[in-house]
Structure 1
Amino acid sequence: MEEDYEVLETKLTPENFWRSVNIFITKPHIINKKLWGSKTLFHLKCKLHDDTRQLPTICSSVSDNISSEPLEEYSQLVLKELGAEKCDSQDTDSESTFEVILAEILPKNYTEKQAYQLICLDKEKCIVTFYDVTPLGQEQKLCPTFTYTVKLENGEIKIAPVLEGETSKLYIWLAKTLLTQLMKWGTEKDHKIMNNINQSLALVSHTRYYEKYNELKVKYGKEMVKIWPECTDPQKFVYEDVAIATYLLILWEADTTKKVKTFVDLGCGNGLLVYILTQEGHNGLGLDVRKRNIWNMYPPDVVLEERTIRPSDASLFPEMDYIIGNHSDELSPWIPVIAAKSSYKCNFFLLPCCAFDFDGSRYQRQNAYKSQYSDYLDFIQWLCKDLGFKVDMDRLKIPSTKRICLVSSGRIYKEEEYTEFSLTIDDIIKRHSSFASQDTCLETTFKAREAVEKVRNCTQVDREVVNSIVDTISKYLLEGCDSSDPKWNIGKTVEINEIVQLIPKEQLSLLKSECGGIQTLLKNNHNIFEVQSGKVTLRYPKTINDVGSNPRKRKHRQTTLKIQQRPCWFFNNHPQGCPLSETVCSYLHVKSN
């Protein structure tokens, strides 16, 4: 009897279908946030004894000691159950190749047990079958416990359980989410930047990284999140630096020439990366233009200095093995330059985020067919190669959209050529700069970030100016409002560009210099205005219950809710007053001064 397939129409070719399936097998964490990833334990190419390909509904589970036992015995057992025999890929027609993969599914939470999936790919029939083969008695919640198939047939992509009657939430999720994602992966264009990087963590051992990351997460991450004194989100910034530290530690482990590395982190920010690398046995320091609150909490052996780095021959580090640029902003294009000038054996790790040119100004995209980020990565990569570095790009596993890093591993020229090559570095920089002429001294044109971070919000603008602008906008939105109308009037909705025409130029210039412009002012006065899709209108006043049920407030329960502490703007300024009673409104119904 034909299985009851969930179906999605598609224009996928077999080639694109298998590309999508491969992404799901190798990167299941993309659509399942409970997962860290997967590890392929074996990948066999086979021939089926029976051309009808009637596969079993279940396959034998792996051993409880799979991590320490050879897989040869288990693979032979599986082949026998499938009615298949292992063969050389050269002896098999690629269209009729039957492949068997054993994948270890790794949980994001290290305290959970891994799961194991046996995956059978029938390339001729465009069908893939997934078996749960986790050891018996080991409960797992990482992948389906039932066997299911996905196939491409007659312009449709289908999914179904091998045994009828499966109606679990997990199967519904597969039917609704997995099919859509497979189609999306199969139709994505190849020019995307991520396709230039075949996989995450390509330069380090996945198993070692997984183990080390979870070790550092427990060792440093949890406690650091509890005591985090900065205004930034600790869940993001702490675990991002833990992940970057893990990557560098594994990378340095593989280099047996020198066990203990020396490093300098330029633009070290909160200094957490320096702290972890130092505690793990390496010697280095962090430099930043501003000291952070957390610096005082680190032990004395963590060296952090408040210093402005200006790229010059006076800012070189010949004793260092590594120059680190972790979201180093204006210094990003200078990181490989500083490494190149410091010494022949000095390498670098660079994680670019915001795109800056050599003078500290924003980088201007050169290729209109690429995103600025993609174009900037190309710019940095070509610069590194011209500077004589052997350089690789890799994708980190961090909670950031900008996670492509560049890592050097020596030079393309011999050490005895270093002195002569160093004389050409300034000319190389000028060739890559978008503004420099032969007479330009790039080191003197570089503009470093100010030591005192400028506050850019409406608190720096004269309150009378802000009130004047708010009054002008609100009156315009309420034009024609009749105070005697029984129905409360929220006013009209207009484009922000229309609002801009109402504000005097000198006030607009003041806003631009202090808080980013009129849109920032509107959003900062969110109790009055609502801005959405480039349009502005008055916001209907919030009740006490509205504020209390806000999911953001619920997330931070320790925060005291600010209710009825400020005068209600509508009570004082709207022609019809506030539509809410004083007992319900989240603001005070009192006359403001």
Structure 2
Amino acid sequence: MLRLPLVTNDEFVSVDQFWSALLLYHERPHIANRRIIGASQIFFMKVQFKSKCVKRITELFTFSALIYEIRKMEKLSKEYVKPDFIKSILEPYDKKCELKESSVDEFLNCQNGTFISVRILLPRQNNYKQNVEVVVFDKNENLNVVTFFSVAERNEKIAAPVFPYDIEFLPPGIINVCVDCIEYAETVSADWLVGVLFPKLMKWAKESAFKLDVKNSLSLVNIDLYSNLYHSLKEKYGKQIVQMWPEKTDPYKYVYEDIAIASYLIALWTKYDPDHKPSFVDLGCGNGLLVHILNEEGFEGYGVDVRSRKIWSFYPDTTKLKVQALTPSADSLFPQTDWIIGNHSDELTPWIPVITARSSYNAKFFLLPCCSYEFDGKKFQRKNTSKSQYADYLDYIEGVSKICGLIVAKDRLRIPSTKRTCLVSYKRCYKPEMFPEIDNNISKVIKEKIDCKNVNETSERWIENYETRPETEKVRNCTKIDKDIVQSILKQISIELLKEEDFLIKSDGSKWNRGKKESFPNLAKRISPEYLKELKKQCGGLQTLIKNNKYLFLIENGFVQFRVPPFFDINNGKHKSKYCWFHENHPHGCYYNDSSCSYKH
């Protein structure tokens, strides 16, 4: 059989590094293939197969053989894809062939053997079809190779290469991606294998990225159900909400993020109680979209926030949202509520395990932490410097939950955010009669975490001087900084950029230095510490300040350079109202003369 290498590595890797990278790709294909939301694993089996006329069982997995067996299935789902699907292809060549249930753990500990993984790839977009993928692992002294077969009808569009491809390891440390037909090498899918997948594999190999103890994302829910829910809710609410979005925030990020969270919650609730639609309360509900979707899907519940948002007025009366400042107290309990939600709940985040524990024995929580806060509403200070602030805060909240007697699981969501780890509390580790002891432990931990003077043991209010979020949102976009400070910062940036020369020729023949390109971190080093401190109070800091002055600076790929001043167009009807910064501050003045510049000289 013809084997055509598409790409080969130029740095040697070990066989262990090879398998680390390949298993990461197998277990989490969505992190390489952005067209899929995940893979629904059906079975992973070790193969006992002997035939003199067959070198590798992959020779038998032709498109015709695979599609013939798939067409026999009543439906493309876990219930209908059985091991007999594979056995029917192998048995004509070895009637004694066996398929034994196995695992990735067993595969890693095995020195020799052939393993088969069968799963269904779940596309992210509705214009792609689900399809069966068969993955064959061959592992021995002379052969370390994985072959991928994605199978669907010829007229169906799927989110993976439609042809088989091998990823092989050859001594002393070469990795090849191969196909068996020249026509395949000239496709867009081949370009993806070379330009996207292969660089990721090499990166993972060097990092030895696969770890058995690292959970996949969406590990607490049925991924098939999640995928179906996501497509359904996206179709039902996505475009409609994006079109009517009145907020200044990016609708695509927030709308599809909340659709993904709603899909996750419904899949989670279906798992724990398939015959009952639970009630919920969303504390710090923000734009209220998550509440809106859950209400529309028939779940009883409401959202609470310290202030309303513009979009609230666009929701129907069936969407239950309340303006209320929540202070940790006996008044902030929800004894009749099944699930307490904290979706970017900020200052309330550490209190949600406490509120859950004290609301009722059956209360549960879903918590998606973002900004890190302590019990007193002040910023959380990292305790473990070997971890990131975010990772340490997750451990902190998990520790608080355990003190509250709650059993907690971690999971990772599929949302467009770097902070996508959620905590789910689904049951207690104590019997109901033990609650007084647990409640005493809760009071102790609150005392330990905050100033004891602020802890109120007799009042219904659990903490005094608690800093709640203000009803009106502060403007923190660097537009309220003292103008003298802004001008000083711009001057310091200017001095740094002009340290190198990149001359343009002005209309009068003289030179105008555009200066060098510089990264944000390096520019930050040139700013006075007292100015940086002022900027850190503002959302985005230095980056926001520079973006606010986009008529001065061009930002490309994280680097900043002076922008050529805009040319004055007399036909656009705009009058010059602002003074030209370059004319006053650049050593060569403005690039244009007074009549040509868009700003006053």
TM over 0.5: yes
2:304 match: 287
1:71 match: 82
Give the conservation status (yes or no) of the 8 Å contact 2:567–2:598: no
Query: Which of 539, 542, 548 pairs up with 2:563?
Result: 539
Q: In structure 2, do the counterparts of structure 1 residues 301 and 578 end up closer, same or farther at CA, with 3 Å as the change threshold?
A: same
Q: Does 1:179 align with 2:180?
A: no
* Greater displacement, 514-523 / 98-107: 514-523
1:199 match: 216
Q: Does 1:387 align with 2:409?
A: no
2:134 match: 118
Give the conservation status (yes or no) of the 8 Å contact 2:524–2:542: no
Q: Does 1:451 align with 2:461?
A: no
Q: CA deviation at 1:374?
A: 1.2
- The alignment partner of 2:387 has SS state of coil
- Measure, in 1, the Cα distance between the counterparts of 2:205 and 2:467: 45
Q: In structure 2, do the counterparts of structure 1 residues 511 and 109 end up closer, same or farther at CA, with 3 Å as the change threshold?
A: closer
1:557 match: none
Give the conservation status (yes or no) of the 8 Å contact 1:387–1:428: no
Q: Does 1:425 align with 2:442?
A: yes
Q: CA deviation at 1:294?
A: 0.8
Percent identical residues: 38
Give the conservation status (yes or no) of the 8 Å contact 2:38–2:122: yes
Q: Does 1:49 align with 2:56?
A: no
In structure 1, what residue type is equivalent to 2:86?
A: S
1:343-492 equivalence runs, <5 A: 343-431=360-448, 433=449, 435-437=450-452, 440=455, 443-461=463-481, 486-490=510-514
Q: In structure 2, do the counterparts of structure 1 residues 407 and 218 end up closer, same or farther at CA, with 3 Å as the change threshold?
A: same
> Cα deviation per residue 1:227-264 (whole Å; 9 max; x = unaligned)?
11111111111111111111111222223387132211
> Cα deviation per residue 1:162-204 (whole Å; 9 max; x = unaligned)?
33564223223313432221232233366x9x97541111111
Q: In structure 2, do the counterparts of structure 1 residues 196 and 582 end up closer, same or farther at CA, with 3 Å as the change threshold?
A: farther
Higher RCO (CA 8 Å, separation ≥ 6 residues): 2
Q: CA deviation at 1:127?
A: 0.8
Give the conservation status (yes or no) of the 8 Å contact 1:10–1:157: no
- Measure, in 2, the Cα distance between the counterparts of 1:518 and 1:143: 41
2:342 match: 325
Q: Does 1:129 align with 2:147?
A: yes
* Greater displacement, 238-247 / 457-466: 457-466
> Cα deviation per residue 1:255-279 (whole Å; 9 max; x = unaligned)?
3387132211110000011111111
Q: CA deviation at 1:457?
A: 3.6
- The alignment partner of 2:147 has SS state of strand
In structure 2, what residue type is equivalent to 1:178?
A: L
1:588 match: 598
Give the conservation status (yes or no) of the 8 Å contact 1:117–1:132: yes
Give the conservation status (yes or no) of the 8 Å contact 1:571–1:589: no
TM-score between both structures, scaled by the size of structure 1: 0.83
Q: Does 1:3 align with 2:3?
A: yes
| Cα RMSD, aligned residues only | 4.0
Q: Does 1:109 align with 2:125?
A: yes
Give the conservation status (yes or no) of the 8 Å contact 2:493–2:527: no
- The alignment partner of 2:332 has SS state of coil
Q: CA deviation at 1:41?
A: 3.0
- Measure, in 1, the Cα distance between the counterparts of 2:525 and 2:409: 49
> Cα deviation per residue 1:480-515 (whole Å; 9 max; x = unaligned)?
x9x9982124468997578656x9x7x888777678
2:189 match: 170
> Cα deviation per residue 1:298-318 (whole Å; 9 max; x = unaligned)?
111222111111112222111
- Measure, in 1, the Cα distance between the counterparts of 2:33 and 2:599: 48
In structure 1, what residue type is equivalent to 2:598?
A: L
Point out where structure 2 has 5 or more consecutive residues left out of the alignment. Answer: 457-461
Q: CA deviation at 1:77?
A: 2.5
- Measure, in 2, the Cα distance between the counterparts of 1:220 and 1:462: 43
TM-score between both structures, scaled by the size of structure 2: 0.82
In structure 2, what residue type is equivalent to 1:158?
A: N
> Cα deviation per residue 1:277-326 (whole Å; 9 max; x = unaligned)?
11111211111111100111111122211111111222211121111100
- The alignment partner of 2:205 has SS state of helix
Q: Does 1:161 align with 2:179?
A: yes
- Measure, in 2, the Cα distance between the counterparts of 1:390 and 1:475: 56
- The alignment partner of 2:292 has SS state of helix
> Cα deviation per residue 1:523-579 (whole Å; 9 max; x = unaligned)?
42232246899997643324699xxxxxxxxxxxxxx99998866443566565532
Q: In structure 2, do the counterparts of structure 1 residues 218 and 21 end up closer, same or farther at CA, with 3 Å as the change threshold?
A: same
Q: In structure 2, do the counterparts of structure 1 residues 540 and 409 end up closer, same or farther at CA, with 3 Å as the change threshold?
A: same
